[in-house]
Amino acid sequence: MNNRLSVIAWLSTIVPFVFFVGATVRAQEITPFRNDDRVVFLGNSITDGGHYHAYIWLYYMTRFPEMKMSIQNAGIGGDRVIEMVKRLDGDVFSKHPTVLVTTFGMNDSGYLEHNGSEPDKFADEKVKESAAAFQEMEKRFKELSDTRIVLMGSSPYDEGAVIEGNLPLKGKNAAMLRIVDFQRASAQSNNWEFLDLNRPMTHINERIQQQDPAFALCGSDRIHPDNDGHMVMAYLFLKAQGFAGNKVAEIIVDAGSQKIVSAVNCRLSNIKKTPTGIDFDYKANSLPYPLDTVPRGWGSKKSQYDALRAIPFMEEMNQERLVVKGLKGQHKLFIDEEEIGIWSAGDFAQGINLATLTHTPQYQQALGVMYLNEERWEIERRFRDYAWVQYNFFQPRGLLNANNRRAIQVMDQHIATDGWLRAKRDLYAKAMLPEVRKAWQDQQGQLVRDIQNAAMPKTRKFRLVPIR
């Protein structure tokens, strides 16, 4: 985009693309989110405690800072389709989604019986149970006239990793793939959108495990992706939305003539030669995507950044390219008077990806957006723990949303024998109070507003100084 286009106009130009996984080629397309979209991700613990939806939103926050949209987590740990159906009205439709992304299969496909005496019979039963429960979900989804439905095949159960003390459940992922296949069939028959995460992630696992048998995107339990796995999930989703090849920005300058050759998704001005080199002003329409290097979330051992071992995210989706032609010798690059680095004329002519440099002012600005997004994620997790208590514990006992002393008394009768419930007792005691929930909601709203302000790109002053 040489001229600044509105986000809506640009998104309307997205065309179908071909997505490669190993030797398999298949079309996969998910319509990019639009201004004012309310996107809800419905799922189990992988969604509940996971980061993939937050990473997807972070992409939109930094790439399209003027877009107003929201992504909400509607995952609950342990859920199968049958449990999800029971909370559709109170926990999902109540969020008024314009886009509803639904994923399931890990819990639906069962666990230990896959290593039992009749694994094939067990797998058949679990797949049939899931398909029967999904018929009710499908019926409810058809009633949503103003909601775009996306069915998403679950991340895999990793049977291939060599994990000490954790032998795989053989055949479990094959059962999950049967669930993925009936999701695909439903999407096709209902004119919904569909994305399979299972097969691409399995392919990545198998490829890397050939050199590193202990490698696992799906965590040490073979089930829950670590932060790197969630970044892979986000990448696959964004790729399905057509963002491969979409640059943060690209600057091409001819230093000899002091001319702007090209400015993609940015504006260049005030280019001039000075006694100390060449200067110009640069304002991008986007920020580089910041990759967190800290493991975050319960039990996490790997970071978002670790996903770069598995996916070409930087090459495909995080290019902020600076190309300067007509230089001689080495030059030092300054941005806003911060020294960024020294490169040869050949390096500048070939192009430097500034998004790989974490110390640029624009990357540091993007880090601020990332940290605010993590704060938002932490608060949203409180609401998901609250939802877990409501739908897993109180709803079967006829106390859904009771939020009174009786509810606490019933809860206290069970915490001695239920460790998960005991761990959430203190949070529920707070969250049952409407003023506490409102305070948390207000904090989330303020964080989103702060993110929108923090993500607005600024004019940066570039200066190239020859090294004598």
Q: Is residue 1 part of a domain?
A: no
Residues 64 and 110 placed together within one structural domain of the fold: yes
Token couple for 168: 């795989």
Q: Residue 275: what pLDDT?
A: 86
- 96 and 41 in a single domain? The answer is yes
Q: Do 107 and 230 belong together in one domain?
A: yes
Q: Check which CATH number belongs to the domain holding 215 and give it.
A: 3.40.50.1110
Domain assignment present for residue 76? The answer is yes
Query: What b/e sequence results for 306-338 when a residue is b if at least 16 CB atoms lie within 10 Å of its CB, and e otherwise?
Result: bbbebbebeebbbbbbbbbbebeebbbbbbeee
Residue 409 falls inside a structural domain: yes
**pLDDT single digits (tens) 350-370:** 999 999 999 999 999 999 999
Angle (CA) 183-189-190 rounded to 5° is: 90
**Same domain, residue pair 273 and 124:** no
Structural domain span for residue 413 = 366-454
Classified as helix, coil or strand, 306 is helix
Enter the tokens of residue 392: 């897993």
Q: What is the pLDDT of residue 27?
A: 41
Residues 340, 378 within the same domain: no
Asked if residue 113 is part of any domain, the answer here is yes
Whose structure tokens read 């923090």? 454
**212 and 93 share a domain?**
yes
Number of domains in the chain: 3
Q: Which of 255, 278, 259, 277 is nearest to 268 (CA)?
A: 259
Q: Could you please report the per-residue DSSP string of 410-467?
A: HHHTTTTT-HHHHHTHHHHHHHTSHHHHHHHHHHHHHHHHHHHHHTS---EEEEEEE-
pLDDT in tens, 382-416: 999 999 999 999 999 999 999 999 999 999 999 99
377 found inside a domain: yes
Does residue 327 lie in a domain region? yes
Same domain, residue pair 27 and 124: yes
Same domain, 438 and 319: no
The string of DSSP letters for 206-251 reads HHHHTT-TT--TT-TTSSS--HHHHHHHHHHHHHHTT-TT--SEEE
Strand partners, 62: none
Looking at beta carbons, which pairs linking 345-351 to residues 24 or more positions away fall under 8 Å? 348/322, 348/323, 348/324, 348/464, 349/323, 349/324, 349/325, 350/323, 351/321, 351/322, 351/323
* pLDDT at residue 285, as a whole number: 98
Which residues of the chain fall below pLDDT 70? 1-28
Q: Are residues 323 and 379 located together in one domain of the fold?
A: no
Single residue among 210, 240, 270 that ends a domain in this structure: 240
Last residue of a domain, one of 175, 208, 240: 240
Does residue 46 sit in the same domain as residue 189? yes
The residue from 240, 264, 299 where one domain ends is 240
> Which of 261, 265, 373 shows the shortest CA–CA distance to 325?
261
Residue 11 pLDDT: 37
Kindly state whether residues 74 and 94 are assigned to the same domain.
Answer: yes
Strand 18-21 vs strand 277-284: parallel, antiparallel, or unpaired?
unpaired
Write down the pLDDT at residue 17: 33
In a domain, 2, yes or no: no
Kindly state whether residues 225 and 129 are assigned to the same domain. yes
Beta bridge partners, 41, equal 73, 101
